Amino acid sequence: MATETIDIRNIGISAHIDAGKTTLTERILFYTKRIHTIHEVRGKDGVGAKMDSMELEKERGITIQSAATQCTWDKTPINIIDTPGHVDFTIEVERSLRVLDGAVLVLCSVAGVQSQSITVNRQMHRYKVPRIAFVNKCDRAGANPLKVADQLKEKLGLQAVAMQIPIGLEAEFHGVVDLVTMEAIYFDGPAGEDLRREPIPAELQEEADARREALLDAASLHSDELTEAILDEKVTPELVIDGLRAGTLALEVVPVLMGSAYKNKGVQPLLDAVVALLPAPTDVQNNYIELDNDQERPVESSIDAPLLALSFKIEDGRYGQLTYLRIYQGTLTKGDTLWNQRSGRKIKVGRLGRMHADEMEELTRADAGDIVALFGVDCATGDTFTDGKLRATMTSMHVPEPVIRLTVKPVDNKSQVNMSKAIQRFTREDPTFRVEVDSESGETIISGMGELHLDVYIERMRREYSAMVETGAPQVAYRETVTRRADFDYLHKKQTGGSGQFGRVIGYIEPEENGEEFVFDNLVRGGAIPTQFIPAVEKGFRAMLGEGQLIGFPIFGLRIVVNDGKAHSVDSSEMAFQAAARGAFREVYPRAKPQILEPIMRVAVEGPNEFQGAIIRSLMQRRGLIVGTTEEAGFSVAEAEVPLAEMFGYATDLRSATQGKAEFTMEFAKNAPVPDAVAEELRKKYADKARGRRAAS
Q: Which pLDDT score, from 0 to 100, does residue 1 have?
A: 35
Contacts of 229 (CB under 8 A, 6+ apart): 235, 236, 239
Verify that 38 and 97 share a domain, yes or no: yes
Q: How far is it, in rounded angstroms, from Cα 332 to Cα 338? A: 9
Q: With respect to residue 685, please indicate whether it lies within any of the assigned structural domains.
A: no
Q: Helices (H) and strands (E) in the chain — how many of each?
A: 17, 38
Sheet holding 320-329, edge to edge: 346-348, 337-340, 384-386, 308-317, 320-329, 371-375, 352-356, 359-363
| Contact indicator for 629, 616 with CB cutoff of 8 Å | yes
In the chain, what is the straight-line distance between the N-terminal and C-terminal CA atoms, in Å? 63
Average pLDDT over residues 590-596: 94
- CA dist 366 → 3, 314, 362 (Å): 8, 19, 11
What burial class does residue 318 get, using C-beta atoms within 10 Å of its C-beta: 0-12 exposed, 13-18 middle, 19+ buried? exposed
In total, how many domains does the chain have?
Answer: 5
Verify that 175 and 267 share a domain, yes or no: yes
Q: With respect to residue 428, please indicate whether it lies within any of the assigned structural domains.
A: yes
Query: Residue 32 is which amino acid?
Result: T
- Work out the mean pLDDT of the chain and round it to a whole number: 86
Name the helix (H) or strand (E) containing 126.
Answer: helix 115-126
Q: Would you say residue 320 has pLDDT above 70?
A: no
| Contact indicator for 600, 641 with CB cutoff of 8 Å | yes
Verify that 249 and 343 share a domain, yes or no: no
Q: What is the maximum span of the chain, computed from C-alpha positions, in angstroms?
A: 101
The DSSP code sequence of 344-396 is --EEE---EEEEETTEEEEESEEETT-EEEEES----TT-EEE-SS--EEEPP
The DSSP code sequence of 525-579 is -TTSS-GGGHHHHHHHHHHTTTS-SSSSPPB-SEEEEEEEEE--TTT--HHHHHH
Q: Which pLDDT score, from 0 to 100, does residue 690 have?
A: 54
Q: Would you say residue 585 has pLDDT above 90?
A: yes
Average pLDDT over residues 75-101: 80
Q: With respect to residue 265, please indicate whether it lies within any of the assigned structural domains.
A: yes
Of 283, 311, 331, the residue that ends a domain is 283
Pairing outcome for strands 160-162 and 287-290: unpaired
Tens-place pLDDT, residues 426-453: 888 888 889 988 765 678 889 888 788 8
Contacts of 669 (CB under 8 A, 6+ apart): 600, 601, 602, 641
Average pLDDT over residues 308-327: 81
Q: How many other C-beta atoms are found inside a 10 Å radius of the C-beta of residue 217?
A: 12
Q: How far is it, in rounded angstroms, from Cα 363 to Cα 349? A: 11
Q: How far is it, in rounded angstroms, from Cα 182 to Cα 334? A: 48
DSSP state of 555: B
Q: Hey, is 284 helix, strand or coil?
A: coil
Q: Which residues pair with 486 in a beta bridge?
A: 509
Verify that 507 and 584 share a domain, yes or no: yes
Domain hosting residue 507, numbered range: 480-592
Helix, strand, coil percent content, the chain, rounded in steps of 5: 30, 35, 35
Q: Which pLDDT score, from 0 to 100, does residue 358 have?
A: 66
Residue 181: CA atoms inside 13 Å, Cβ hemisphere, count? 12
Verify that 453 and 561 share a domain, yes or no: no
Q: With respect to residue 689, please indicate whether it lies within any of the assigned structural domains.
A: no
Q: With respect to residue 690, please indicate whether it lies within any of the assigned structural domains.
A: no
Verify that 613 and 486 share a domain, yes or no: no
What's the CATH number where 162 sits?
3.40.50.300
Is the pLDDT higher at 45 or at 233? Answer: 233
Q: How many other C-beta atoms are found inside a 10 Å radius of the C-beta of residue 206?
A: 10
What is the value of pTM for the model shown?
Answer: 0.73
Please report which residue ranges of 527-573 form alpha helices under DSSP H: 534-543
What's the CATH number where 331 sits?
2.40.30.10
Q: With respect to residue 154, please indicate whether it lies within any of the assigned structural domains.
A: yes
Q: Which residues pair with 326 in a beta bridge?
A: 310, 371
Of 443, 477, 511, the residue that ends a domain is 477
Q: Hey, is 325 helix, strand or coil?
A: strand
Contacts of 448 (CB under 8 A, 6+ apart): 88, 402, 403, 404, 406, 432, 433, 434, 454, 457
Q: Which residues pair with 506 in a beta bridge?
A: 489, 564
Verify that 39 and 143 share a domain, yes or no: yes
What's the CATH number where 636 sits?
3.30.70.240
Phi, psi of 302 (to 5 degrees): -140, 145
The DSSP code sequence of 139-189 is TSTT--HHHHHHHHHHHH---EEESEEEES-GGG--EEEETTTTEEEEEES
Task: Tell me how far the alpha carbon of residue 16 is from its chain's centroid.
Answer: 13
Of 252, 283, 314, the residue that ends a domain is 283
Verify that 133 and 267 share a domain, yes or no: yes
Q: With respect to residue 687, please indicate whether it lies within any of the assigned structural domains.
A: no
Q: pLDDT class for 62, splitting at 50, 70, 90?
A: low
**Which is nearest to 110 in space by CA: 64, 169, 51, 70?**
169
Verify that 262 and 313 share a domain, yes or no: no
Tens-place pLDDT, residues 636-648: 889 999 998 898 8
Verify that 442 and 344 share a domain, yes or no: no
Q: Which pLDDT score, from 0 to 100, does residue 92 have?
A: 76
Is the pLDDT higher at 396 or at 34? Answer: 34
Verify that 636 and 579 share a domain, yes or no: no
Task: Work out the angle at residue 681's Cα, subtended by the Cα atoms of residues 675 and 682, and round it to the nearest 5 degrees.
Answer: 85
Q: Which pLDDT score, from 0 to 100, does residue 640 have?
A: 94
| Contact indicator for 629, 507 with CB cutoff of 8 Å | no
Verify that 276 and 264 share a domain, yes or no: yes
Average pLDDT over residues 243-266: 95
Q: Which pLDDT score, from 0 to 100, does residue 155 have?
A: 85
Average pLDDT over residues 416-427: 89
Q: Hey, is 538 helix, strand or coil?
A: helix
Query: Residue 652 is which amino acid?
Result: T
Q: Which residues pair with 354 in a beta bridge?
A: 361
Q: pLDDT class for 317, splitting at 50, 70, 90?
A: low
What's the CATH number where 515 sits?
3.30.230.10
| Contact indicator for 466, 419 with CB cutoff of 8 Å | no
Q: Which pLDDT score, from 0 to 100, does residue 199 have?
A: 95
Q: With respect to residue 694, please indicate whether it lies within any of the assigned structural domains.
A: no
What's the CATH number where 464 sits?
3.30.70.870
